[in-house]
Amino acid sequence: MALFSRIAAFQQRIRHGAHHHLGDAEGRFFATMNLIVHDHVFLRRYWTNEWQVAPGVWRSNHPTHGRLERFAHLGVRSVINLRGEPQEPSYLFETESCAQFGMTLVTTKLNANKPPQRENLLRLFDLFRSVERPFMMHCKSGADRAGLASALYLLAHEGADVETAKTQLHWRYLHLRRGKTGVLDHILDVYAARHASASIGIEDWVATEYDPQSIKQSYKRKRGLA
């Protein structure tokens, strides 16, 4: 029983707690273990889900230290983290890497399985305008949140129509329209219908009309869940 208790305590330390810091060897050890066990960093060492959205704009899964170094060599100046988890080891290591390579790291929190909060989308639009270019943006897998952010960028800054923007949410990026992550496609569908009835820019729509709760409910009705 003592052995099992020790194992459980070890697992708990990996998952949670004040050990998530990089200030000493012990903190770095448990932070690294969290990356391996819970953040699945080993999958992203060779699988990048990395694509160019527009000139000077990239999307990706959560980059490793080595990939951030490569982005820096390509001239990337800013990184937009869409996970919004500054207390997590993945963010702590990313902060350290970006500082080492002279890149600015900024963050906002999007969601993959539910509509993002309005203020987080508005912050994303602000970041699109304010960050130094070239920039890359990422979530964890690069499939869902990065896809929505890329679609919004194309709508707001590249003059893309909604159908073109929606191609950023596609199975080739491992995004699945069916299921919970399909709510991100639904956001763009709702905007498309509103834009077709009376032209409105995507940022103005988010600022004045976008309602995460109504989007969530209408998507549940669409799937026959409400």
Q: What is the pLDDT of residues 112-132, one digit of tens each?
A: 999 999 999 999 999 999 999
Same domain, 99 and 204: yes
Q: Are residues 32 and 83 in the same domain?
A: no
Would you say residue 3 lies in a domain?
no
- Give residue 140's pLDDT: 95
Tell me whether residue 81 is in a domain. Answer: yes
Q: Are residues 51 and 147 in the same domain?
A: yes
Asked if residue 33 belongs to a domain, the reply is yes
Same-domain pairing of 128 and 74: yes
Residues 137 and 200 in one domain: yes
DSSP E strands in the chain: the ranges are 51-54, 57-60, 78-81, 104-107, 135-138
Q: Per the domain annotation, does 2 fall within a domain?
A: no
Tell whether the model's pLDDT for residue 13 goes beyond 70. Answer: no
The CATH code of the domain that includes 94 is 3.90.190.10
pLDDT tens digit sequence for 51-107: 999 999 999 999 999 999 999 999 999 999 999 987 788 999 999 999 999 999 999
- pLDDT score recorded for residue 39: 76
Write out the residue range of the structural domain in which residue 18 sits.
8-38
pTM: 0.89
Q: What is the full DSSP assignment across 156-216?
A: HHS---HHHHHTTSSGGGT--SSSGGGHHHHHHHHHHHHHHHS---HHHHHHHT--HHHHH
Same domain for 20 and 120?
Answer: no
Q: What is the overall mean pLDDT for the chain?
A: 90
Contact in structure between 217 and 186 (CB atoms under 8 Å)? no
d(CA 140, CA 125): 20
| CA pair distance 161, 113, nearest whole angstrom | 24
Q: Report pLDDT for 31.
A: 79
pLDDT score of 3: 53
Structural domain includes residue 13: yes
Q: Is 60 helix (H, G, I), strand (E, B) or coil?
A: strand
Q: How confident is the model at residue 6 (pLDDT cuts 50, 70, 90)?
A: low
49: left (phi over 0), alpha (psi -120 to 50) or beta: left
For residue 132, the model assigns a pLDDT of 98
- The pair of structure tokens assigned to 209 is 């009309």
Q: Are 212 and 116 in contact (CB under 8 A)?
A: yes
CA distance 92 to 30: 12
Q: Which amino acid is at 172?
A: R
| Averaged pLDDT, 184-208 | 97
Instruction: Mark whether 195 and 128 lie in a shared domain.
Output: yes
pLDDT for res 181: 97
Mean pLDDT of 168-172: 97
Strands lying side by side in the sheet with 135-138? 51-54, 57-60, 135-138, 78-81, 104-107
Tally of domains within the chain: 2
Judge if 102 and 174 occupy the same domain.
yes
Domain presence at residue 183: yes
The answer on pLDDT for 38 being more than 60 is yes
Q: Are residues 172 and 217 in the same domain?
A: yes
Q: Residue 138, SS3?
A: strand
**Per the domain annotation, does 31 fall within a domain?**
yes
Residues 86 and 31 in one domain: no
Look up residue 197 and give its two tokens.
């009835």
Residues 34 and 57 in one domain: no
Share of the chain above pLDDT 90, in %: 73
Same domain, 158 and 185: yes
Assess if residue 1 is contained within a domain: no
Secondary structure class of 126 (helix, strand, coil): helix
